[in-house]
């Protein structure tokens, strides 16, 4: 008797792989570990993802979408106020970075694991980092920044600092200071 197709298999595999990659790092997790955690067969995993590289690219694409959602949440938090949107983005990132169990930005972590430019992960990472910078630059320009790219880069440095240090910073103190710092940087950058 033939098996029934599992329409949720791809998402289930990706959910488990994402959790394992976030906990242990991408290179430290083997496909057999994912198969064991999923309780699926090797054939099913390879039907959904032709290789580990394809699975890693799907994982990073999901992480990229998560970052895009943060940018969207920041925009929604201060409609019509681009400067407020930038502050909101930093505040959302600060909250995420100080959540118990946070292990840093998955995209930055993957970049450290896959510095090769010919790896499948590199393309997703390049699109993410370029797109994130461009989107922040567009918001900075809408806010009236004298130099929108410089403001975007400064906000990126604050976001990356939160990502790298958030787990050790705690909800109060340095994380709160990062938001206040973003407010100061934005204020001095506006015309």
Q: Which of 12-26, 46-60, 107-121, 160-174 has the lowest mean pLDDT?
A: 160-174
| Measured distance CA(66)–CA(14) in Å, rounded | 14
pLDDT averaged over the chain? 91
Given a cut of 60, is residue 5 above it in pLDDT? no
Does the domain at 52-189 match CATH 1.10.357.10? Answer given as: yes
Please check whether residue 60 is in contact with residue 124, taking contact to mean a CB–CB distance below 8 angstroms. yes
Helices (H), the chain: 9-24, 31-38, 42-48, 52-77, 82-97, 106-113, 120-143, 148-169, 174-189
Burial bucket for residue 139 (CB in 10 Å: 0-12, 13-18, 19+):
buried
Given a cut of 60, is residue 4 above it in pLDDT? no
pLDDT tier at 103, thresholds 50, 70, 90? confident
Residue length of the chain? 191
- The dotted CATH code for 1-50 is 1.10.10.60
Burial bucket for residue 3 (CB in 10 Å: 0-12, 13-18, 19+):
exposed
Q: What's the farthest any 2 CA atoms get from each other in the chain?
A: 71
* pTM for the model: 0.87
* Cβ neighbours around 137 below 10 Å, total: 20
Given a cut of 90, is residue 91 above it in pLDDT? yes
Please check whether residue 190 is in contact with residue 83, taking contact to mean a CB–CB distance below 8 angstroms. yes
Looking at residues 76-91, what average pLDDT do you find?
A: 96
Looking at residues 181-187, what average pLDDT do you find?
A: 96
* Residue ranges per structural domain of the chain: 1-50, 52-189
Q: What is the pLDDT of residues 123-179, one digit of tens each?
A: 899 999 999 999 999 999 999 999 999 999 999 999 999 988 877 776 667 788 899
pLDDT for position 102: 85
pLDDT for position 1: 45
Q: What is the pLDDT of residues 7-35, one digit of tens each?
A: 789 999 999 999 999 999 999 999 999 99
Q: Tell me whether domains 1-50 and 52-189 share a fold.
A: no
């Amino acid at each position: 008797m033939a098996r029934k197709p599992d329409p949720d298999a791809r998402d289930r595999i990706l959910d488990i792989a994402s959790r394992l990659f976030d906990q242990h790092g991408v290179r430290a997790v083997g496909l057999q570990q994912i198969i064991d955690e999923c309780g699926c067969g090797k054939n099913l995993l390879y039907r959904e993802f032709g290789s580990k590289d394809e699975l890693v690219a799907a994982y990073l694409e999901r992480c990229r979408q998560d970052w895009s959602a943060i940018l969207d949440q920041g925009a929604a938090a201060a409609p019509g106020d681009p400067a407020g949107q930038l502050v909101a983005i930093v505040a959302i990132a600060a909250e995420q970075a100080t959540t118990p169990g946070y292990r840093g930005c998955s995209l930055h972590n993957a970049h450290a694991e896959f510095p090769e430019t010919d790896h499948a992960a590199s393309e997703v990472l390049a699109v993410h980092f370029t797109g994130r910078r461009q989107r922040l630059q567009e918001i900075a320009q809408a806010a009236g920044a004298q130099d929108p790219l410089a403001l975007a880069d400064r906000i990126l440095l604050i976001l990356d600092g939160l990502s790298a240090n958030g787990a050790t910073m705690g909800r109060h103190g340095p994380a709160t200071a990062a938001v206040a710092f973003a407010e100061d940087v934005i204020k001095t950058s506006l015309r």
